[in-house]
Amino acid sequence: MSMSKSSKMLPYINYRMRVTIHDDRQLVGKFMAFDCHMNLVLEDCEEFWCLPPVKGKKEEHEDRRTLGLVLLHGEEVVSLTVKGPPPPKESRATSVVVGVSPGDGNGNGGDGDG
């Protein structure tokens, strides 16, 4: 029985993944979704790239920036690497609303004095 791409990738949903793209940048984020073209959705994504060495120094400098939610075109993907497993179910954050009181929506408790 042959396995399709989707059945091979499905077990890695919610894993922390490192994706290398054509221009040697690397994206690290939570693997949320994919399709038959290997378009990827990464959550809490960060981008990493190497800068050439500064004049007079030999080592390269790695830079990074936070991207957030990313939709990555499948043609750009060179490789995928597992960085870490998904978080345990019991440790997932739940939505909690703090400091909300009935009022007129201006955040002052409904006294209307603004």
Nearest to 43 by CA among 53, 30, 26: 30
Q: What is the pLDDT along the chain (114 residues), one digit of tens a residue?
A: 345 656 789 999 999 999 999 998 999 999 999 999 999 999 999 999 988 777 777 777 788 999 999 999 999 999 999 999 988 875 445 444 445 455 555 555 555 555
- Dihedral Cα 28, 33, 36, 39, nearest 10 deg: -40
Give pLDDT, residue 70: 96
Identify the structural domains of the chain with CATH numbers, from first to last.
9-86 (2.30.30.100)
Give pLDDT, residue 34: 94
Output the pTM of the full model.
0.67
